[in-house]
Structure 1
Amino acid sequence: MPFALPIALPTQTASTAKTCKRIAGKLGGRLAAGLALAFAAALPAAVHAQEPWPARAVTIVVPFAPGGNTDMIARLLAERLGRTFGKPFVVDNRGGAGGLIAAEYVARAPADGYVLFMSTMTQIVTAPMTNKIRYDPVRDFVPIVNVGGNPFILAASTRHNFKTVADLVRYGKENPGKLNVGHAGNGGLTQLSALLFLSRAGVQATMVPYRGGAPALADVLAGQIDLYSASVSEVMPYAGTGKLSLLAVSSDKRLAQLPSLPTIAESYPGHQVDTWNGLVGPSKMPPEIVDKIGAEAKKIIAEPEFRAHLESAGIIPLGETREAFAQRIKQDQKKWKPVIEAAGIQPE
């Protein structure tokens, strides 16, 4: 006949033997013994599920190869979060398809707070407008903290001896299609920022996709391609070295770190492009874990030492948590949709 176990599942670790004995005493017989053994087998999983987060290492997935802007920010934050929470925060680089491979991986990951995603505006805002993706950037992710934002710098190979934006544009117009422009994947801001500039300048160029910013920059340095619209932190180490020609920055004002570098807007008024790097997670993550990570990350980003590290790389510290970050995403979606439509980019 139907029956119910006369005890409730314990909420804290207890002796398995005593638990089995109590069940057997109340029910008796082989049936009770069998049920008690089944209960004992399930007990470790139940107890494990009640362990406070984080009980083990946390992975931060980076959508590009090691060495780029996003990777650097992720490693800085991972090291500090690990110290804060007392468990390792490990960076996992999963490059390819402009970061879409990594984004889909995290979107399908368990929503338990142990797999996070150091996203860029590409995967969350622009890629859905330029690629046929297998995830929903709003439905499948929850914003945690927006770490920092940065504009882009037109970085050119030294082989053509470009000194100014005018030099680059002149060459591009005299040699239609011969200007090779690298980017970190279709639909990404390194591609879109370059396309927007080229469109305004009236230059036809050949776009060359890479698995991340680091390999694209490496080929510019080697003279394999002519131009890369780089994040500021990627090219700051080369300023003044003669290994790379920094032509202009996409912000509305000149950078404090590079005051002699003109803005693109000085040649093409109204031109302004920037992006961000933010930590997100699978959408069904427990809100208390989202808020816990966001609150601690915001404290870290506010620390003078951490801010100075970001700013020295040309990154503007933001520290926007859940609601503010979500609002920025909505605003960026509205901003970039008409730009992408005007450029004639279709999902592929």
Structure 2
Amino acid sequence: MARRPRASRSGWPGARWRCGTAATRWAPTTMRCCSPPASRQMTSTGSKRPACWPTGRVRPGAAEQDQPGKPGSPEEPTLRPVTYTPLGRRGLLALATGLAIAAPARAETYPTRPIRLIVPYTPGGGTDNLGRLVARTLGERLGQPVVIENRGGAGGNIGQAAAAQAPADGYTTLITGNGIAISDLLFRNPGYDWKKDFVHIARFASTPMLLVVNNDVPARSLAEFIAYARANRGKLNHGTPGAGTSQHLAAALFDDLAGTQIIHVPYRGTGPSVTGLLTGEVEVMFASASAVETLIREGKVRALATTAATRARAWPELPAIGEALPGYAAELWYTFAAPVRTPPAIVSTLEAAAKDIMANEAFCNLLMERGFDPAYLGHAALDAALDADRRRWEPVLQRTGITPE
């Protein structure tokens, strides 16, 4: 019985490649033929066959004379080994340059999935209202949904800490009030550093805060309220979204300049504090206009003044508190931020998207309809504005005796 040929790695029993009719050596099956694999040549019978065919096996349907190594078989092309030239220093530099050029192209694909926008307060307040407007429009501009996540508590610190600790990949962002700039002056351990842990990308809007009272308070004007509060020191309460918020600071500055003492009652967000105003738990609020506008129109609460340095565009009939208390000004505006190690290319994409939507007249009109004043600032200008706000409020905190909790 004939000995059965041993199978090779190529799958052909004992197959080897023979290169040329006058070849002096046999090439293993792992080497490539010099001709392209798809090339064919005519056999003596007129059929086509691969330029190189393993010896020791007859192709199905091939004539005997068409077998390699048999008389009459056509000459096969010469097999040349494939050589690899190591990359030199210039080649490595060229490769590195090519990879560096390719990297921005990958960044341009951002975003590829939904983006989370943390609102560090409960639903229903000014930050939440603005956040939802921004999320919808920003998502349309970026081509991916922007999803609101409310993380209220501790005057915004819970949500702000969660944003600071999130992966810096561009898929977690934050919208919060300018009070974040004095968080370390109000809390011993807020859970983040507002400058070191965030990159502040853009400001979309500001909103006037209004001094409002419920219907149990007899005062009908700012002057009447100042006189009433002075006559009832320690007997009135005011509600805020939490300690250290802009609303809290507005009330503290009012006490300082008016010589009143209105007791602070912190809630876990604007929504609960408005509920407290309606139910009589508190009598007074320094509230964002967007949070109480409907209640004012319906006559459920009464607005007496605005907290800005001048009268508000949307509330020209209301005096600014500074008209009765010179030097008074408390403004609320919002910063859009991301974890500090977010790639610069992604930060630029978000900043450009924010600038684009703020250039949209329809979006700005929508902001004004909801009680906000369009007030765009880019990354560099926003950092400067936050620093200025901190410098303005630090002496106020010292003067009013507000210390870190």
- Shorter-chain TM-score bucket reads 0.7 to 0.9
The question of 1:96 aligning with 2:96 is answered no
- 1:125-146 Cα deviation digits (max 9, x unpaired): 1221111122111000001111
Note if contact 1:59-1:90 (Cα within 8 Å) is conserved in structure 2. yes
Q: For residue 165 of structure 1, report the CA deviation from its aligned partner.
A: 2.1
Q: Pick from 178, 186, 189 the counterpart of residue 130 of structure 1.
A: 186
Note if contact 2:142-2:353 (Cα within 8 Å) is conserved in structure 1. no
Deviates further, 159-168 or 107-116: 159-168
Unaligned segments of structure 2, at least 5 residues: 1-105
Runs (4+) of structure 1 exceeding 4 A deviation are none
Q: Pick from 341, 345, 356 the counterpart of residue 299 of structure 1.
A: 356
* 2:261 match: 204
Measured in 1, the distance between the counterparts of 2:309 and 2:370 equals: 18
Q: For residue 117 of structure 1, report the CA deviation from its aligned partner.
A: 0.4
**Bigger radius of gyration:** 2
Mapping of residues 276-295 of structure 1, within 5 Å: 276-295=333-352
Q: For residue 161 of structure 1, report the CA deviation from its aligned partner.
A: 2.7
* 1:166 match: 223
Note if contact 2:203-2:377 (Cα within 8 Å) is conserved in structure 1. yes
* 2:115 match: 58
Q: Pick from 121, 144, 149 the counterpart of residue 87 of structure 1.
A: 144
Measured in 2, the distance between the counterparts of 1:122 and 1:240 equals: 28
Note if contact 2:124-2:271 (Cα within 8 Å) is conserved in structure 1. yes
Measured in 2, the distance between the counterparts of 1:267 and 1:240 equals: 25
Unaligned segments of structure 1, at least 5 residues: 1-48
Mapping of residues 154-193 of structure 1, within 5 Å: 154-193=211-250
- 1:12-50 Cα deviation digits (max 9, x unpaired): xxxxxxxxxxxxxxxxxxxxxxxxxxxxxxxxxxxxx98
| Identity between Structure 1 and Structure 2 (%) | 35
Note if contact 1:65-1:211 (Cα within 8 Å) is conserved in structure 2. yes
The question of 1:247 aligning with 2:304 is answered yes
Higher relative contact order (CA 8 A, sep 6+): 1
Note if contact 1:291-1:322 (Cα within 8 Å) is conserved in structure 2. no
Measured in 1, the distance between the counterparts of 2:382 and 2:316 equals: 29
Q: For residue 170 of structure 1, report the CA deviation from its aligned partner.
A: 2.6
Number of matched pairs: 299
Q: For residue 255 of structure 1, report the CA deviation from its aligned partner.
A: 2.0
Measured in 1, the distance between the counterparts of 2:350 and 2:365 equals: 21
- 1:156-187 Cα deviation digits (max 9, x unpaired): 01112321123322332222211011111111
CA RMSD of aligned residues (A): 1.5
Q: For residue 51 of structure 1, report the CA deviation from its aligned partner.
A: 9.0
Q: Report the TM-score when normalising by structure 1.
A: 0.83
**Whose helix proportion is higher, 1 or 2?**
1
Measured in 1, the distance between the counterparts of 2:337 and 2:313 equals: 29
Residue 346 of structure 2 aligns to which amino acid in structure 1?
I
Q: For residue 337 of structure 1, report the CA deviation from its aligned partner.
A: 1.1
The question of 1:264 aligning with 2:321 is answered yes
- 1:33-77 Cα deviation digits (max 9, x unpaired): xxxxxxxxxxxxxxxx98932111100000100011111111111
Measured in 1, the distance between the counterparts of 2:222 and 2:232 equals: 15
Residue 159 of structure 1 aligns to which amino acid in structure 2?
D
Note if contact 2:237-2:265 (Cα within 8 Å) is conserved in structure 1. yes
Note if contact 2:152-2:158 (Cα within 8 Å) is conserved in structure 1. yes
Q: Report the TM-score when normalising by structure 2.
A: 0.71
